[in-house]
């Protein structure tokens, strides 16, 4: 083998190992992204036998077939399992185990009993291709819609799957038995290594880019949410209102303000833990009640604001009444207090001034408080 070719066959496993190390580093900073560790394990576990296999003389391959093949098979399954986890699924470990056992059994026979390098290559590559195919169902599932760059990641992995089967048929049709001694020195072998390197780098970049975008989305989500109730905070509420009004226009909306009655008494009597529990339960009730186009936010303390998609003020008032009745059914452990809430509801006027509408709804809310609490007060804006 010429010196340039020797260097090249080492570049491919070295790249795979470096990709694995990069994944481990990312996982060390992002422990919640467990799939990164599996993918890292896959890259490193395939890099080791790839380097040994490319440099080892063919006459020694039979002796090392089983350990090298076991590392290949584990590495490919680990990578497949990691990708499946990224899409919220699994790479069928029991089925994978069966594929690995059958593959290793056949490899043992054709290395220790009936030495046949050509058949060993076919068997190993079929086993690898089947392992690559295991996460396809997870990749194509509807859950992938929430993953950033899901289309790119899906296309990258399916390209790797296609290549795995193309490699099987290329080895079966382009390498006759008489070429066995020269296999790892052939141009086809170098082409396969180059393709492996390109696809490995491409898939790794797709995974890392998707992960980075997930982190950005998570940070943006956390920045937009009230930490206790997980509803929108004040800033995010106004941002979303602007988008809603630009998308749907200013008509057909109602603004609702509400807060829990006697909330200070709950804090003073049963402690802040009970008060926080009351806010969380009320926030969860609002989240369950609002529809896709509606918005619910906590502005601070026990004050909440909603933007309701409503063709009439009457419809929005019915929503408020339903909420008012539901609040009284909320149970706060370790307290003997029945929660109630007061509401102010206005129709958003044609100019869409959300601040003016909130101020008017607040005035109605205070009217409800002064009228005895646990009431809904409304007025056309």
- DSSP string over 153-166: HHHHHHHHHHHHHH
The predicted pLDDT at position 62 comes to: 67
The predicted pLDDT at position 195 comes to: 84
Q: What is the mean pLDDT of residues 67-78?
A: 94
Q: What is the mean pLDDT of residues 104-130?
A: 90
Continuous segment of H or E residues that includes residue 363? helix 354-370
The predicted pLDDT at position 158 comes to: 93
pLDDT of 53 strictly over 80 = no
Q: In angstroms, rounded to a whole number, what is the distance separating the alpha carbons of residues 165 and 158? A: 11
Residue in 246, 302, 359, 367 annotated catalytic? 302
| Domain ranges (residues) in the chain | 3-224, 234-379
User: pTM of the entire structure?
Assistant: 0.68
The predicted pLDDT at position 146 comes to: 66
Active site residue 302: yes
Q: In angstroms, rounded to a whole number, what is the distance separating the alpha carbons of residues 380 and 307? A: 15
CATH code: domain 234-379 is: 3.30.70.270
Among the listed ranges 97-106, 114-123, 178-187, 351-360, which one has the minimum average pLDDT value?
A: 178-187
pLDDT of 31 strictly over 90 = no
The predicted pLDDT at position 36 comes to: 93
Q: How far is CA 372 from CA 43, 185, 302, 304, in A?
A: 67, 90, 17, 19
What are the tokens at 381? 């804006």
Q: Within 13 Å of residue 258, how many CA atoms lie on the same side as its CB? A: 31
pLDDT of 156 strictly over 60 = yes
Among the listed ranges 206-220, 251-265, 312-326, which one has the minimum average pLDDT value?
A: 206-220
- DSSP 8-state code for residue 178: G
């Amino acid at each position: 083998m010429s010196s340039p070719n020797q260097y090249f066959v080492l570049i491919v496993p070295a790249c795979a190992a470096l990709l694995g190390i990069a994944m481990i580093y990312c996982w060390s900073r992002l422990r919640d992204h467990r799939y990164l560790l599996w993918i890292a394990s896959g890259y490193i576990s395939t890099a080791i036998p790839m380097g040994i296999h490319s440099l080892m003389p063919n006459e020694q391959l039979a002796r090392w077939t089983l350990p090298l093949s076991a590392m290949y098979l584990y590495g490919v399954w680990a990578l497949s399992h990691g990708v499946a986890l990224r899409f919220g699924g699994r790479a069928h470990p029991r089925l994978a185990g069966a594929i690995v056992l059958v593959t290793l059994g056949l490899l043992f026979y054709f290395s220790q009993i009936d030495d046949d390098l050509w058949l060993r290559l076919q068997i190993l590559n079929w086993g690898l291709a089947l392992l690559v195919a295991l996460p396809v169902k997870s990749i194509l599932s509807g859950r992938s819609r929430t993953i950033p760059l899901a289309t790119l990641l899906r296309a990258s992995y399916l390209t790797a799957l296609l290549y795995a089967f193309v490699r099987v048929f290329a080895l079966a049709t382009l390498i006759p038995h008489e070429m066995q001694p020269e296999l790892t020195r052939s141009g086809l072998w170098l082409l396969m290594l180059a393709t492996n390197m390109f696809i490995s780098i491409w898939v790794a970049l797709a995974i890392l880019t998707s992960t980075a975008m997930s982190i950005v989305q998570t940070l943006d989500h956390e920045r937009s949410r009230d930490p206790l109730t997980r509803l929108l905070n004040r800033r995010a509420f106004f941002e979303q209102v602007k988008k809603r009004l630009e998308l749907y226009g200013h008509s057909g909306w109602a603004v609702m303000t509400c807060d829990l009655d006697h909330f200070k008494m709950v804090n003073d009597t049963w402690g802040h833990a009970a008060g926080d529990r009351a806010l969380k339960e009320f926030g969860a009730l609002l989240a369950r009640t609002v529809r896709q186009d509606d918005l619910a936010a906590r502005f601070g303390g026990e004050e909440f604001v909603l933007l309701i998609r409503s063709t009439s003020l009457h419809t929005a008032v019915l929503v408020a009444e339903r909420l008012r009745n539901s609040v009284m059914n909320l149970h706060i452990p370790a307290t003997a207090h029945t929660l109630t809430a007061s509401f102010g509801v206005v129709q958003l006027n044609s100019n869409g001034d959300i601040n003016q509408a909130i101020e008017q709804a607040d005035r109605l809310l205070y009217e409800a408080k002064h009228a005895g609490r646990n009431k809904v007060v409304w007025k056309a804006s």
